[in-house]
Structure 1
Amino acid sequence: MLVGVDCGTQSTKVVILDPALGRIVAQGQRSHELHEGANGRREQDPADWIRALEGAFDDALAAGQIDPQHIQAIGISGQQHGMVALGADGMPLYPAKLWCDTETSEHNAALIEALGGERGCLDALGLVLQTGYTASKVAWLREQHPELYQQIATLLLPHDYLNFWLTGERVTERGDASGTGYFDTRRQQWHQEIFHLIAPELDARRVLPRIIESHAPAGRIRSEIAARFGLREDVIVSSGGGDNMMSAIGTGNIAPGRVTLSMGTSGTVCAWSTDYPDGCDSQVASFSSSDGGWLPLVCTMNVTSATTRVREMFDLDITAFSAQVASSPRGAQGVQVLPFFNGERVPMLPRAEASFHGLDSRNTTPANLCRATMEGASYGLRYALECLGPLGANARQIRVVGGGAKSPLWRQMLADILNVEVVCPQVSEAAALGAAIQAAWCLGLQQGNEVTLNGLCERWVILDLSTRTLPEAAGVADYRSGYTRYRTLLEEVHGIAVGATVD
């Protein structure tokens, strides 16, 4: 048996995969609290992640009536970029600042300037620093809480922290590390000089975790944790990775020509590349993958988070919200939304606010506002896909995951806006599945077997053909016009140039 864990923003999910059956046989899930404050502060207590992992693991074992002695390996997926600063005792010094925290936008701007602007960032790191990355969080802690900053013994990412709890080892892998802002994505190693610029009092060789290969184990499970769950003490914990990297594995996006689109709280669009992805827009995060390649990725901050805000504003459940969207025509009778409730990462607008446009006495209805919000979030995903350049333009199928992907209406909207086929994998928890598959890869190699990640994905990543959605000509035409207006609004309201073409 193999276990995959995904620690996300809203909850931690655990899946148990039976290799003999080739499918997930048990699942568990526990939520954790998000603490929001002024200036875009968004934090969580890492202890909540542990409690959620324990509860979800217990639930999965009970739901599947699994003998824990049959479990051989565990893989961890975690929300990217979060800063977990540990003291010498291995305990967090401060709540984890999350990927969606925008309180550090001024610190990020200062770091970009210190590195010589966008060009300097690309030359040094292979990507442009974003407010969500870990780097500006470290700079913020240094300024705001110098007494805690001085006590830092280790800086970990959320998935690294869970691996540390499971194994006692302070390690990371290149995929998640590439989203810190002090990792050289071309050379695939820590950038010591940039880390010194961010945290001059800290020794990078002491506080940054050791980088291991994606197919290598983070370690073996600690005896206390084995006893807690009734596991054998030889259980391997794989390197794990960021949730986007694990979702790529969990959707089979480990070869050229494939694109994964996640429609969760945020939206991510990523494509796999054998080499460092030259030719993408500078807004693309040229992350490493968690399988030895690269995973150029674009993140938008407002997908289901945007639709949820509007849904709750009208006191609608998901079914009622979908009915409202369906009752409004394409284009929402002229209503358009820039749904930047959480600011925005791409385009880089960390302090942006949501705005509604085209409202008049006839079209200001709940149905139009609901549909326009869903369309606005989807236009943001098209903007993201276009940023990938040839990697996005050459896509012939996009594999979609996340809560939004469960909606047939939204899948059709997305297929029309992107003008490409979309389809869902059978397993919707792609990050947790990817973590379990990576754990199988690691375990097989440790046992001396000739196992490949591609072979494992071919066996266990199965598409749900009932969700296959093709673009409709009328929708493509309507949304081409709608997207043109969306880009015009981006320019008028936020100064984001339309560019030569939007086709």
Structure 2
Amino acid sequence: MLYIGIDLGTSAVKLLLMDEKGDIKNIVSKEYPIFFPRTGWSEQNPEDWYEKTVEGIGELIDGFDKNKISGISFGGQMHGLVILDDNDEVIRPAILWNDGRTEKETNDLNQIIGKDKLSEYTANIAFAGFTAPKILWLKKHEPKNFEKICKIMLPKDYLAYKLSGIFCTDYSDASGTLLLDVKNKCWSKEMLKICGIQENQLPKLYESYEVVGNIHPETAKSIGLPEKIKIIAGAGDNAAAAVGTGTIGDGKCNISLGTSGTIFISSDKFSVDCHNALHSFVHANGKFHLMGCVLSAASCNMWWMDKIIGTNDYVEEQKKIEKLGENHVYFLPYLMGERSPHNDPDARGIFIGLTMDTTKEDMTQAILEGVAFAIRDCFEVAKTLGIQIEQTKICGGGAKSTLWKKIIANVLNMRVDSVESEEGPGYGAAILASVGCGEYDNIEDAVNTYVKVSDTIKPDPGLVKKYDKKYKKFTEIYPAIKDLFPKIK
């Protein structure tokens, strides 16, 4: 049997074909544009996602027996607001996870409704990237579009809807809307009332591994796929990546170094930190997880390499970095504002500590270290809950850098494991498809068979000590300058 995993990312959709043994048979990637109408805004056209997905499926299955394809599932960028009218037409471009326009709506939710109430309703507080503040922004600034809304969905669910005709989402992705009662796994009536929407405008909720239906006959015919193919709900990108790296089970951890950076801590029990600095979400296995999100991670390095120093040879630039733990330059990686733990859409990227002898290599190193320090910020919150993590998996584009993994291992003082497949969300989506089609009884059994560790980096006690001192200095920078950010917008 063959399974298709679709990873709907911010810059491209990546499609993966996996067999019943977990072997990846083919990978296809298709890029699409992202639009920044104003500073801090971020949008995409959902039609572009579907067009490139259909195009990618054709290339993905070329040369393979289509009749062996059993299921399709998804991992997708979270929090995006996709709205359809009563003709199933997209009303406006999707407002993405890294869009910062909802500062006022976010503050109103946290301060007027109150963080305690929000946490009671959803297990989370409002962050600028979440879906509910976007709905409130739309209601105020685009009332005509708001009145047209028939269906509200998340990015990957638009693909599922186009492929199957089923209006659906899964609990992990729904957790990031600020509309879900995470603890009780149902839509929050209080939040729906606050946002002025009806439950019938929201999709039906499924577990990530559940079958929502079959591919629509007309869609199957147009793409050239058998009508028997099952469509499985899928998961938010981080939950899908956790499946793809085998991060299933109490206390297991995964770091994703993609456009954003996340820490993902799997848990058998529901929990919330006292300041809601970490997100409390449902996991793809039906249980729970804590997640911290750094809005700019590998994208910081891409920005520096591509736009500033003008090179795409990332490996060569990193070869010149030798003195770890001794850099005098610091970097705040807040190019798109920051979520965990600061929840500050006004925050911006900053180099500090530059001198006449600062080199390009120092600044490159500072970017890698700054992202690692920001990730450690999230782990420090987890420690307040009594959670002690001694090892983590890692995935995402940034995880291809051995140097970056070494920095992270020593900043966090924990073992960092890479897995054989680097295709976290896409591979996780394919695994969810295999479970939904009955290849395995549950996700735990599937990942125990499919996911293998390929490489391990252990922390060096000497470097750990150096980075611990540097991290403590790093934590002093943001509080010292945070009041300046709103003044320089």
Bin for the TM-score computed over the shorter chain: over 0.9
The equivalent of 1:500 in structure 2 is none
| In structure 1, distance between residues paired with 2:81 and 2:203 | 13
Q: Is the 8 A contact 1:405 1:411 kept in 2?
A: yes
Equivalent residue runs for 1:56-205 within 5 Å: 56-62=56-62, 65-116=63-114, 118-199=115-196, 202=197, 204-205=198-199
How high is the TM-score relative to the length of structure 1? 0.92
The equivalent of 1:486 in structure 2 is 474
Q: Is the 8 A contact 2:324 2:463 kept in 1?
A: no
1:277 aligns with 2:271: yes
The equivalent of 2:215 in structure 1 is 221
Deviations 1:182-222 (A, max 9, x none): 111111111122122112xx3x2220111123332121101
Counterpart amino acid of residue 159 in structure 1: K
Counterpart amino acid of residue 453 in structure 2: L
**Alpha-carbon distance, 1:172 to partner:** 1.3
Counterpart amino acid of residue 7 in structure 2: D
Deviations 1:78-100 (A, max 9, x none): 10000000000111101000000
Deviating beyond 4 angstroms after TM superposition, the runs of 4 or more aligned structure 1 residues are 390-393
| In structure 1, distance between residues paired with 2:261 and 2:39 | 22
**Alpha-carbon distance, 1:459 to partner:** 0.9
State which drifts further: 273-282 or 302-311.
273-282
Counterpart amino acid of residue 359 in structure 1: L
The equivalent of 2:315 in structure 1 is 319
SS of the aligned residue for 1:93 comes to coil
Distance 1:391 1:397, change over 3 A: farther
Q: Is the 8 A contact 1:27 1:59 kept in 2?
A: no
The equivalent of 2:464 in structure 1 is 476
**Alpha-carbon distance, 1:392 to partner:** 8.1
Counterpart amino acid of residue 78 in structure 2: Q
Residue from 428, 432, 446 that aligns with 1:434: 428
Counterpart amino acid of residue 15 in structure 1: L
Q: Is the 8 A contact 1:259 1:392 kept in 2?
A: no
1:415 aligns with 2:403: no
SS of the aligned residue for 2:30 comes to strand
| In structure 1, distance between residues paired with 2:159 and 2:278 | 28
Q: Is the 8 A contact 1:328 1:371 kept in 2?
A: no
| Structure 2 residue runs without a partner (length 5+) | 485-489
**Alpha-carbon distance, 1:316 to partner:** 2.4
**Alpha-carbon distance, 1:351 to partner:** 0.9
The equivalent of 2:249 in structure 1 is 255
Q: Is the 8 A contact 2:4 2:18 kept in 1?
A: yes
The equivalent of 1:54 in structure 2 is 54
| In structure 1, distance between residues paired with 2:330 and 2:272 | 34
Q: How many residues align?
A: 480
The equivalent of 1:241 in structure 2 is 235
The equivalent of 1:25 in structure 2 is 25
SS of the aligned residue for 1:37 comes to coil
Equivalent residue runs for 1:299-378 within 5 Å: 299-312=293-306, 313-317=308-312, 318-324=314-320, 326-327=321-322, 329-332=324-327, 334-346=328-340, 347-363=342-358, 365-378=359-372
SS of the aligned residue for 2:172 comes to helix
State which drifts further: 372-381 or 303-312.
303-312
Q: Is the 8 A contact 2:81 2:96 kept in 1?
A: yes
SS of the aligned residue for 1:299 comes to strand
Counterpart amino acid of residue 110 in structure 1: D
1:266 aligns with 2:260: yes
Distance 1:149 1:343, change over 3 A: same
Counterpart amino acid of residue 9 in structure 2: G
Q: Is the 8 A contact 2:124 2:280 kept in 1?
A: yes
| In structure 1, distance between residues paired with 2:242 and 2:136 | 30
Counterpart amino acid of residue 456 in structure 1: A
Counterpart amino acid of residue 323 in structure 1: K
Q: Is the 8 A contact 1:281 1:389 kept in 2?
A: no
Counterpart amino acid of residue 83 in structure 2: A
| In structure 1, distance between residues paired with 2:456 and 2:440 | 34
Deviations 1:448-477 (A, max 9, x none): x8712111111111111xx31000122111
| In structure 2, distance between residues paired with 1:450 and 1:315 | 47
The equivalent of 2:7 in structure 1 is 6
| In structure 1, distance between residues paired with 2:420 and 2:357 | 42
Counterpart amino acid of residue 487 in structure 1: T
The equivalent of 1:456 in structure 2 is 446
SS of the aligned residue for 2:42 comes to strand
Counterpart amino acid of residue 4 in structure 1: G
**Alpha-carbon distance, 1:394 to partner:** 2.1
| In structure 2, distance between residues paired with 1:338 and 1:153 | 41
| Structure 1 residue runs without a partner (length 5+) | 497-503
The equivalent of 1:43 in structure 2 is 43
How high is the TM-score relative to the length of structure 2? 0.95
Q: Is the 8 A contact 1:285 1:297 kept in 2?
A: yes
| In structure 2, distance between residues paired with 1:112 and 1:394 | 29
Deviations 1:352-377 (A, max 9, x none): 111111112122x2111111111111
**Alpha-carbon distance, 1:327 to partner:** 4.4
Q: Is the 8 A contact 1:29 1:59 kept in 2?
A: no
SS of the aligned residue for 1:331 comes to coil
SS of the aligned residue for 2:88 comes to coil
Distance 1:426 1:322, change over 3 A: same
